[in-house]
Structure 1
Amino acid sequence: MSQLIVREAFALSALNTFALPAQAAQYCALSDSSQLPEVLAAQQRSGLALFVLGGGSNLLLTQNLDAFVLHMTTQGKRVLSQQADVVLVEAEAGEAWHPFVLWTLSQGFGGLENLSLIPGTVGAAPVQNIGAYGVEINDRLHSLDAWDCQQEQLVTLNAQDCAFAYRDSCFKREPARWIILRVRFALYPAASTPLALEYGPIRQHLSHLDIAQPTPADVSRAVCAIRAEKLPDPRQLANAGSFFKNPLVPAQQALALLAQYPAMPSYPQADGQTKLAAGWLIEQAGWKGYRDGDAGVHANQALVLVNYGSATGAQMKALAQRIQTDIHERFAVALDIEPIVI
């Protein structure tokens, strides 16, 4: 067991994919979940609020964190059970998400292929209920283990317990309450995986490669190619992926907008609302490729805000607010920020 080290005034610029300058009042990396009681005791002694950090890929730091930052770095992944029609796999919270997806595919399991190349960690994935190309975490999550700071006990939650919604969960609504330790997924043997191919570009990419009967690995490669073409690699250009949620509007409002903008992408939902494409709205408003100093909107994907070098979190937030105001004035649509804003 490694020694537990708590650091003061710890720089977080390398631990958030926006590369924003900020410090944690106290910082501790948890590489062994058995040390959690010791970590919690240190946090209580500090008198600081708890903040759980994963991969830092869904975070906008506009100021220093006056908190005890618990960085989940635990590692480990395993197959728990394998039957003819379902496979149960488990990963520790600190595992990087995309390498974990690739590992499941290499083991011959499907189900997570549409979620390939999403940055972040396994433990952070349920917080945001990450999703892409027709699949969300709640579609594949079996259960997870978490420490409930409110009840001071270890609990096991299933997908229903997590109260998932679009880019939302009980963990996001009560961030100081939960520490996700490990997550389990119900997957499929590759040959019997129900592939989600509704997203047009996936079919187009597979068709271009003359793949008529794709495997989960084929879908993963297609998703990676599509994402790499549109989304900047945070290691090359600092960003937090999709910055705004796709807005949900009443069906009547969507119809009115479609009458004015017939090419506007729209996706009717089961609850009667209609989901709009935030990126399309932002691009139509002329923000794609916009830059103000080192804070900008990506040239290939209007949904992504980028830090070209030395932008601060306050500058990124100010740009986001200008975009929100403009979209509301033009389309009467409210855009919600997807990352957690500090």
Structure 2
Amino acid sequence: MSIEAFKSLKHLNTFAIDVTARYFSSVPNVETLQQLLQEYQNPFILGGGSNILFTRDVDRLVIHSAIMGIEKIEETPEHIFLKIGAGENWHQLVLYCIDHDYAGIENLSLIPGTVGAAPIQNIGAYGVELKEVLFGVDTLLKEPDKKHYFPQHFSNKQCQFNYRDSVFKHKLKNNCVITHVILRLNKKPIFNIKYEEIRDKLANNELSIKAISDAVIEIRQKKLPNPNKIPNSGSFFKNPIIPEKVYNVLIKEFPTLPHFPAPDHHIKIPAAWLIEQCGFKGKRMGNVGVHVNHALVLVNYGNARGEEVLQLSQAIQSAVKKKFDITLTPEVNIY
């Protein structure tokens, strides 16, 4: 196994924040990962770096997951079960499934990051969430004595999925490392075209999982900047979910407020709309700013420090709170 000292992480996070890891190792298999977890206390696990904002150096071992592989482990008349290494690129997995006519994740096309990070956030887009197709997750879990890690499988239910949330983001944070993800995909597609943008793109096309994927890719490329050209981490904030009674008060003052039904008498409000109403869309503050095409996307226009992005996000939170009395929660993990 190779361990580097004082490794720059600039090219390993999509915000392109230039911070340094005290130690760094890229792990290709579970055995190497387990060995490092035993030898180094409290390591930092880094996947594709697409959902992290670094505001300081990492003064410990950073483990970069490079566990690869896509394996068909079971097949039934209705479903295909795939076991995927945590280091695989998510979008490449989507394309693999489309090539093999495995349906269920086509709406999640072009989401940046690795497969191992997907369950942590319960990634979702255009009416589909990962929890709908995830069968289980293989992990290395820290024992109660806090010294040793052992293999542990989590079922879908045990992952405790919620909106952009899971047990891995809270209760098991820093105590569990995902090594593989098991998906249950459909052999016969169940098309999800509830979003008007997708329906419009497909109006003159034959419905297929590839057509949906192509539509999603086109929409995302139009709205979201390519991190390789303008460093960013996609949607920075979650869409807030508020009680109906709070919404009923807001809609009287803001009659054009967009809204979508959510479970348990709650309403989901687009965070991008709230941010735009506060005048931040397209605004630039030094090396950072809010993208001109999407108010949810904070971008690094130069050699920005993580603190600059954080300060911009806090200014947005304060403005939205003052105008709407709604608290925006970051979707991006802040370190």
Same fold (TM over 0.5): yes
**Residue equivalent to 2:211:** 218
- State the distance in 2 between where 1:36 and 1:288 align: 42
**Deviation for aligned residue 1:43:** 1.2
Q: Give structure 1 stretches of 5+ with no counterpart.
A: none
SS state at 2:264 partner: coil
The answer to whether the aligner puts 1:84 opposite 2:57 as a matched pair is no
**Residue equivalent to 1:128:** 121
**Residue equivalent to 1:263:** 256
SS state at 1:319 partner: helix
The answer to whether the aligner puts 1:95 opposite 2:92 as a matched pair is no
**Deviation for aligned residue 1:74:** 1.4
Amino acid at match of 1:133: Y
- State the distance in 1 between where 2:210 and 2:74 align: 21
- State the distance in 2 between where 1:218 and 1:63 align: 42
Residue pairs, 1:106-185, within 5 angstroms: 106-151=99-144, 152-173=149-170, 174-185=172-183
**Residue equivalent to 1:27:** 24
**Greater Cα offset, 237-246 or 248-257:** 248-257
Which 4+ runs in 1 deviate beyond 4 A?
none
**Residue equivalent to 2:190:** 194
**Residue equivalent to 2:202:** 206
Q: Give structure 2 stretches of 5+ with no counterpart.
A: none
The answer to whether the aligner puts 1:275 opposite 2:272 as a matched pair is no
**Deviation for aligned residue 1:66:** 1.9
Could you tell me whether the CA contact under 8 Å between 1:80 and 1:90 is conserved in 2? Answer: yes
- State the distance in 2 between where 1:23 and 1:107 align: 40
**Deviation for aligned residue 1:75:** 1.1
The answer to whether the aligner puts 1:335 opposite 2:328 as a matched pair is yes
Could you tell me whether the CA contact under 8 Å between 1:251 and 1:268 is conserved in 2? Answer: no
- State the distance in 2 between where 1:237 and 1:285 align: 23
SS state at 1:124 partner: helix
Could you tell me whether the CA contact under 8 Å between 1:195 and 1:216 is conserved in 2? Answer: yes
- State the distance in 1 between where 2:87 and 2:260 align: 34
- State the distance in 2 between where 1:261 and 1:187 align: 41
Identity among equivalent pairs (%)? 38
- State the distance in 2 between where 1:324 and 1:235 align: 27
SS state at 1:109 partner: coil
Amino acid at match of 1:24: A
Which of residues 233, 251, 257 in structure 2 aligns to 1:240? 233
**Deviation for aligned residue 1:265:** 1.3
**Residue equivalent to 1:301:** 294
- State the distance in 2 between where 1:109 and 1:40 align: 35
TM-score (norm 1): 0.94
SS state at 2:303 partner: coil
- State the distance in 2 between where 1:334 and 1:134 align: 23
SS state at 2:44 partner: strand
Q: Deviations over 1:191-243 (max 9, x none)?
A: x2111111111111111xx12x5111111111001100100111111000000
The answer to whether the aligner puts 1:13 opposite 2:10 as a matched pair is yes
- State the distance in 1 between where 2:315 and 2:329 align: 13
SS state at 1:52 partner: strand
**Deviation for aligned residue 1:155:** 0.7
SS state at 2:43 partner: strand
TM-score (norm 2): 0.96
- State the distance in 2 between where 1:229 and 1:37 align: 41
**Alpha-carbon RMSD:** 1.1
The answer to whether the aligner puts 1:51 opposite 2:54 as a matched pair is no
Aligned residues: 330
Could you tell me whether the CA contact under 8 Å between 2:34 and 2:140 is conserved in 1? Answer: no
- State the distance in 2 between where 1:62 and 1:246 align: 23
